[in-house]
Structures are given as C-alpha cells and as structure tokens.
Structure 1
Amino acid sequence: MFSRLLGKPKQQTNALATIEKLNETLEMLEKKEKVLLKKADAEIEKAKDFTRAKNKRAAIQCLKRKRLYEQQIEQLGNFQLRIHDQIILLEGAKATTETVDVLRTGASAMKAMQKAVNIDDVDKTMDEINEQTENMKQIQEALATPVGAAADFDEDELEAELEELEGAELEEQLLQPSTVAPVSPVHVPASRLPTRPTPQKNTAEDDELAALQAEMAM
C-alpha cells in the first residue's frame, strides 16, 4: 500500500514537495471561501435594502446570487476536506516509511554487530576471564601465607602468652592502692561561726584575790 502511495525512493523524496503543494492549494481555497462569504453577506444586505424600498424583484435577484455563492462555498468546503484527507494520508505514509527505514537500518546494524561478535568468542573470553580471576585469587592467598621464621610460630603458644599478659595486667590493677579524693573544706559563713568570749582585763581586786589564794595553797 505504501509503495503505491509513495512509489520508489525517488518519489518518496518528492513526498514533502507534494504535501507542501497541497497545503498551498488548501490555503488558496480558504482565501477564496472567505471572499465568497463576504459576497454572500453583501447580497443579503442588498436584499434587505431592496425590501425596504419595496423592490421585490431586485431583492429576489440578490437572494439568488447569494444561493450561488453558498453553493460555491459548499463546493470549496468539499475540496478542502479532500485535500485534508490527502495530506493526512501522505503524512502518515511518510512517517511509516521513515519508521520502517530506521528499523531496517537498526536491524542491519545489529546483524553486523552479531557477525563481528561470535558467541564462541564470547564464551572463550569469559573462560579466560574466569581463569585469570582464579589465578589472581591463588596468588593473593600465596602472598598472605607466612614464610620464613614467621611460619614456625605456634599460634597456640602465642595465644597462651597473650592470656598471661592479660592476667598480669589485671593483677597489677587490683594491687594498686585506691586513692581517696581529698575532702574539700566546707565554707561556713562568718555569721554562723561560734563567737569566742572576749578576754576581760583583771582588776586590782582580782589580783589580790589571786595572791591570797596562792598563799593559802602554800
């Protein structure tokens, strides 16, 4: 169907020119339709004027011309509809053809890629990658294995020595004297401190009494 519409590739190239020509024709018909609509409206106004002037014959002639204009307008409308249908059909066929061409190009590219990459080559490459990965793991394990003097160390003996060190550390912590934090002095406001009695000076009578008591004691 599409080959009948657009024909050979050379004719497909002319599809855009055909659509453009149809659009130009459609625009011309629309302009002509507007002119006929104005003429029909003018005939109606003339018919009204002749009717007011009691010229019935002239008014009827105006209405006849209006009918002729309306027939042409209807015919132009049918022409426009056919052109619209043709444009839509051509645009759809062009889009479909372009889509098919793109899909065909993609299929050809995919086919070329499949030819370039053989499934056997892919399997071989994956086997090589797996082999290299396994070799790398073995190399890493070999490098991680202790050699020389470090390989002769007994893990059990090292763990026992570590336990002895931990026990000695714990015992040393238990033997350390516990330090008591010094008690900070309590500040007592001056108003709450007990008042000491103010010493009074001895009078002469007190001195004599004290001397008498000393003599009696002797």
Structure 2
Amino acid sequence: MFSHFFNKRKPQHDPITVLEKLNETLELLEKKEDVLLKKVNAEKEKAIEFIRGKNKRGAAQCVKRKKMYEQQIEQLGNFQLRIHDQMIMLEGATVTTETVAALRTGAAAMKAVQKATKIDDVDKTMDEITQQTENMRMIQEALSSPIGAASEFDEDELEAELEELEACELEEQLLQPATTAPAVSVQAPAPAERKPTRPVMSTSELDELTALQAEMAL
C-alpha cells in the first residue's frame, strides 16, 4: 500500500511535471493581475466622477482601494518573477541532469565495448591479418614465377647477351658515314632508231647468191 502511494506521488517531482505546474501557476497569476488592473482603472474613473461631484470622501475611498489593488499587482509581479526564476533554474537543472545521464550512458557503452574487445583479441586479430598478408604475397610470387622452358634460362646469360647485342648495334651506328651522297638520277637512253630489217632469204636463193659471188671473183 505504501509503495503504491509513493510510486503514485513520485511523478510529481518529475522536472517536466513541475515545470507544467509552475507554468499553470504563472498563467493564473497573470489572469489575476489583469483583473486587478481592470479594478484599478475602474476605481480611478470612480474617483474622477466623485471629484467632479465635489464628493471628496467618495473619491478618497476610491483612491485607497486603487492603492490596495496596485499593491496586490506589485505582489503578483514579484510572485511571477520568483516563478520565472524557479522555472529557469529547473530547466537548467533538467538539461544538466539529461547531460549527465547521456554521459553515463556513453561511458557505460564505452566500458561494454572495451570489455568485449580485449587487447589480447586485438593483438591476435592483427597477427592473423599480418599472416594472411604474408600468405597472399607468397601466393602472388609463386604465380608470377616462370615455369617450363622459361624457368631454365639464366638471367645473367640473358643480360650478357642483351648487352652484346646493344654493343653491336652501337658499333654499326658509329661505322656508318655521317652523310650519304645524293643519289644520281640515271636517265634511260633514248631508244635507237630502228634499222630496216633484211628480208630473210631462202636456201636456194642463198646458194645462187654464193655462186654469183664466186664467178665475179674469177
């Protein structure tokens, strides 16, 4: 029973509940202040009427009531200032409390993370990463190594042969003349005039010509 009673009254001390209650009280005081201001104005008007009617006693009574209302207004103003001051302090305390609670939550979370992540586990993880990196490097080197006939070549012999070829190429470049004579254009000779070809003689005609030359020689 008592626990139920205390649990029921506990929310009354909640900062949000208190701020709401102070705000309601402040609104009530402002309403009372408005009512008193209206009464002050009313008493002032009555006093003016009594003065116009040459009723100084009635005017004095109105002025007294007016002064009493003004004192109450001043008192309500002081109450409002106190409530405002209390609300500002409570709001600041609420922000402080929430900040502290958030910091505690963050500290607890950090502590839980540190508890779950031990330094030994971190060192073990880093060792595993290093070992995996080394294994991957060895695998890449094994894959990039030459196999078959290419693996039988001696790197020193290949380098020596390459240097020999470079030396030969340099020597050929040095032996070449600096400038080369311009090529002389050779014009093709004009085609010779064709001479008339002799008619081809038959065998009998050749024999007769031979016999005729022999006779003329005698």
TM-score by length of 1: 0.64
8 Å CA contact 1:12, 1:94 repeated in 2: no
Matching residue of 1:149: 150
Deviations 1:84-111 (A, max 9, x none): 2222232222222222222222111111
Deviation at residue 40 of structure 1 after TM alignment: 0.9
Structure 1 residue 138: Cα displacement: 3.7
Q: In terms of mean alpha carbon deviation, does 129-138 or 55-64 score higher?
A: 129-138
Q: TM-score if structure 2 supplies the norm length?
A: 0.64
Contact 1:15 1:94 in 2 (8 A): yes
Moved more, 144-153 or 100-109: 144-153
The corresponding residue for 1:79 is 79
Quick one: percent identity of the two aligned structures?
Answer: 62
After superposition, give the CA deviation of every residue in 1:23-72 in whole Å (9 maximum; x if it has no partner): 01101111110121122122223222322333222221111111010111
Matching residue of 1:16 = 16
Deviation by residue 1:138-157 (Cα, 9 ceiling, x = unmatched): 44344444454364252132
Bigger radius of gyration, 1 or 2? 2
- Code of the aligned partner of 2:154: D
Matches of 2:182 and 2:62, distance apart in 1: 129
SS state at 1:46 partner: helix
Gaps of 5+ in 2: 1-9, 184-218
Determine helix, strand or coil for the equivalent of 2:54: coil
Q: Which has the higher contact order (CA 8 A, sep 6+)?
A: 1
The alpha-carbon distance between structure 1 residues 49 and 170, as it changes in their structure 2 partners (threshold 3 A), is farther
Amino acid aligned to 1:96? T
| 2:86 partner letter | Q
Q: Could you tell me which residue of structure 2 aligns to residue 129 of structure 1?
A: 129
Sort the Cα spacing of 1:178 and 1:167 in 2 relative to 1 into closer, same or farther, 3 A: farther
Deviation at 1:135, TM superposition (A): 3.3
d(CA) in 2 for partners of 1:167, 1:12: 106
Contact kept? 2:37, 2:73, Cα under 8 Å: yes
Aligned length: 171
